[in-house]
A and B are shown apart, each in its own frame.
Chain A
Amino acid sequence: MRIPRILCAVAATAVLSSCSAAPVSDNAPTSEVPGYLAVADEAVTSGGTLDLQMTVDNGAATGLDPQLADVATSWQLMSLVYETLVTVGPDFSIEPGLAESWDNPSPTEYVFHLRKGVTFSNGRAMTADDVVGSFERLLAGQGVWKTQIGPVEKVSKVDDRTVSVTLSSPYQPFLASLANVPAAVLPIKEIEDGSVDITREMLGTGPFVVKSHRQDVSWQFTRRDGYWAQGKPSADTVNIAIAGQEQARMAALQNGSADLVMLGNVDAPELLNGVRGTAVGTQATTDFYYLMLNSNAPGGKFDDPRVRQAINIAMDRRAIADSALGGLGKPTGVTPAGLPGSCDPAQVPSAKAGLDRARQLLREAGAENLTFELAAYSTAPAPAVAQVIQQNLQRIGITVNIEQLDEGSWSGKVYGEVPATFDAALSWFAGYADAAMVGKWWNPEQAGFNVGFMEPNAELNTAIDKAIATPAGPERDTALQQLCDAVDTDAQMIPLVTRPALIGYRSDALSPTLYATEGYGNVLRGIADFRLLTK
């Protein structure tokens, strides 16, 4: 076990210590209900206008087609309009969505019984044809989610309210993968007859409809009559303002012009401590930071696995979580920490080796005094994570030069060329809702985005395949630990720490439903239940 010796030694003697745990503050919401940060008070009358502020808008260039949406902000916005067959409940349980129940007669067969009374916002009733058509459209399309929904062989309509899906081989994350927006049920009839262009407008079964949108400025959603869930949604109008600057969002929360804001600063709970009527919830997400070491890097810097392993060993995940993320992140392996069955990051090979081993590996590889460039986003807390990494690696004699880049430069550098020409890069993934899902991206042939910098590893691919195919139980836990070990040894994409989501809200104006955990970056999962206290 590597602990941040330097940090804690000093912290022990200091008055203001935030080394060992998350800062404790009075305004952290506490919910009696397990699995929730807060549960909306149903006694409050519905109605009112909900004002939210988010950091970025959806990536609109891919249009509003949910099947092409590949970033969490898009999923979050689209989830106000689109719904999925199943959904993720508290603690990553799979709950009914547009399917009211399902049968799983064999490991490769799923039968979904569709909910009665579900209509699209144009009034037409959702049918089994929409479900089948949506599956077929997803499988035939270019969206990346078709990789995640697994080896779907056949989707067929049993009757108007029953759909059966056959997989070609067992796929444990199947239900979890259906719980995300790209797997939403689309209005197939309207898409086919051309009466709606879903890349430009949203037409779903969800609780809200879009009233207006100005890219990168604002969204306005209004409550939809005829939504299938009785008495929902509670709010009449949802205004979402896009505010890039943390200070602007903090200001909006403090002066009450926003009811709920997304925050990026890990110290936000403390910064808002004492502001009457505000609360800050910290959602434990499965999103995690990872370090990419380009095995095609110029000069062959990282083509020797020993060099990559040495770097992996020198990563002090606890220090990253404590210093850069204020104690709110958690060390993680490739199976995101917090998900059922996820491996223990302290048990992977690199965690058991010491710095001497790392130095020895570098010596054996002839890579002492290695210097490399680390490309990181300029949005907090990425630069902080990069700086802790830099300090970590200094311990084994590696010099890291951080390049803090804008979105265009970063993505161009990392994804733009095959083979890629960068040295190393820092980013984060949404960790999804099943422990084996995100691991699929460690197979470049399936993921695609990393073909430029990651060599396929047969052993690792076997571990991935085994983890996704094994049904829940002790056998799966073993398979997941093996997956973590394989990723750890491969060390081309090195999982680091989970990335918390901070949500500030006006406890005097809003009674929200917030989950304690989240896999698809969707803080607004409970938005249909939100109750407004003052408006």
Chain B
Amino acid sequence: MTGWRKADWLTRSGLVCLAVLVLVTVVGTVFGIGGDPDAMVGPRLAPPGGEFLLGTDELGRSMLPRLFEGIGTTLLLSTVAVLVTAVLATLLGVAAGYYGGWLGEVVLRLVEVLYSFPTIVLAILVAAVVGPGQTATMCSIVLITIPLMTRVVRAAAVTVSERDYVTSAVISGAGWPRILVRHLLPNLSGTIAVQGTYALSVGILVEGGLSFLGFGVQPPQSSLGALIQQGSTYLLTAPWLVIVPGIVLIVAVLAINVFGDGLRDGLEPREARSLV
């Protein structure tokens, strides 16, 4: 893979971190390592080690399976939401950038409306209207990430549609599906991928924030945000309840961000120059 060799160590380690995280979670969940995440099997707030590798929470549940479930929930919700965002933002962005006109106006206006809602308030409103839970969390992530992505895709679509090959395709009478699939999408895919990674990190943070405020996934389902929220009052007596999911969350977001940076640098090569 040329991409792999071209990428710097940071981008590679980001990708490796993510892969490891996903792998560990999938293995942990599939094989049920640590037992039932919801069963109250142990003493409350037991420290890590022995029977409970990562200790137990305030209801005496083993943290290891709860952590697996938590990572899985957070990553899955964010990923699904961001995929939805990507599809919608591409459609809207292309519509606004390539077709423009009144359609473009409408799209831009809608995006602007969403953009001007304060983020957390928007998410909480969604949770209040839809009812808190997975659906609300995903809807919130979509609504929060879609404005920026649509704008960026639109800007890219404007640039691409001015290129000569698109103009000549139009002149030669190519239909819009052909132009979309043959010319626009391939040239937009890089932008979408980069924006997607950033949206993913935003999504994880939104999920965490919502759970932290009590509007996230419903108990007993765990998510990284819910775990941190529950553990945050026990920083003194049971710091492992926050430290482990906290580190995992930070590593996940960081890995996604540096990977996104690397991806973008790879797509828009820019010769770094030093002044000193």
Contact = CB atoms under 8 A, between A and B. Distances in A.
Nearest to B51: A10
A189 to B, nearest CB: 46
Interface string B213-245: 011001110000000000011101100000000
A7 B60 contact: yes
A191 B234 CA distance: 50
Interface stretch (B5-13, B35-43, B175-183): B35-43
A19 interface: yes
A390 interface: yes
Interface in A265-285: 265, 267, 270-271
Interface residues of B, number: 28
Contacts of A401: 218
A10 B42 CA distance: 6
A216 B45 CA distance: 33
A391 B40 contact: yes
Contacts of B41: 6, 10
A405 B58 CA distance: 21
Interface string B40-61: 1111111100010000001110
B233 A247 contact: yes
A379 B229 CA distance: 12
A17 B218 contact: no
Given A271-B236, A323-B40, A402 B128 contact: no
A456 to B, nearest CB: 31
Interface in A7-23: 7, 10-11, 14, 16-19
Contacts of B58: 267, 326, 384
B128 A409 contact: yes
A265 to B, nearest CB: 5
A16 B43 contact: yes
Contact of A16 (B46, B128, B132, B133): B46
A250 B133 CA distance: 29
B131 interface: yes
A430 interface: no
Interface string A312-329: 000000010001101000
Nearest to A391: B40
A405 B39 CA distance: 23
29 contacts: A7-B43, A10-B42, A10-B43, A10-B51, A11-B42, A16-B45, A16-B46, A19-B43, A246-B233, A247-B233, A265-B233, A267-B45, A267-B234, A271-B233, A323-B44, A323-B59, A324-B59, A378-B132, A379-B214, A387-B38, A387-B59, A387-B219, A388-B59, A390-B38, A390-B220, A391-B40, A402-B218, A405-B131, A406-B128
Contacts, number: 89
B55 to A, nearest CB: 10
A105 interface: no
B198 to A, nearest CB: 30
A18 B215 CA distance: 30
Closest 4 pairs (CB-CB, A-B): A378-B214, A14-B43, A11-B43, A383-B219
B220 A6 contact: no
Contacts of B60: 7, 10, 323
A388 B237 contact: no
Contacts of A10: 41-43, 51, 60
Interface string B13-42: 000000000000000000000000011111
Interface of A: 6-7, 10-11, 14, 16-19, 246-247, 250, 265, 267, 270-271, 319, 323-324, 326, 378-379, 383-384, 386-388, 390-391, 401-406, 408-409
Contacts of A387: 38, 59, 219-220
A326 B44 contact: yes
Interface string B120-146: 000000001001110000000000000
Contacts of A247: 232-233
Contacts of B133: 403
A408 B128 contact: yes
Contacts of B237: 267, 270-271
Contacts of A246: 233
A19 B41 CA distance: 12
Main SS of the interface on chain A? helix
A317 to B, nearest CB: 15
A19 B215 CA distance: 30
Nearest to B59: A323
A199 B266 CA distance: 67
A404 B218 contact: yes
B132 A18 contact: no
Contact of B131 (A323, A391, A403): A403
A404 B215 CA distance: 8
Contacts of B47: 16
Contacts of A267: 45, 58, 233-234, 237
Contact of B45 (A18, A319, A383): A18
Given A18-B43, A250-B233, 8 more contacts: A14-B43, A246-B233, A267-B233, A326-B44, A378-B215, A387-B220, A388-B59, A409-B131
A270 to B, nearest CB: 6
A258 B184 CA distance: 62
B185 to A, nearest CB: 41
Contacts of B59: 323-324, 384, 387-388
B40 A7 contact: yes
A319 B60 CA distance: 11
A406 B215 contact: yes
Interface in B202-219: 214-215, 218-219
Interface string B167-209: 0000000000000000000000000000000000000000000
A402 B236 contact: no
Contact of A388 (B40, B215, B233, B234): B40
Contact of B132 (A14, A271, A391, A404): A404
Nearest to B232: A247
Contacts of B219: 383, 386-387, 402, 404
Contacts of B215: 378, 406
A393 to B, nearest CB: 12
A404 to B, nearest CB: 6
B46 A14 contact: yes
A402 B233 contact: no
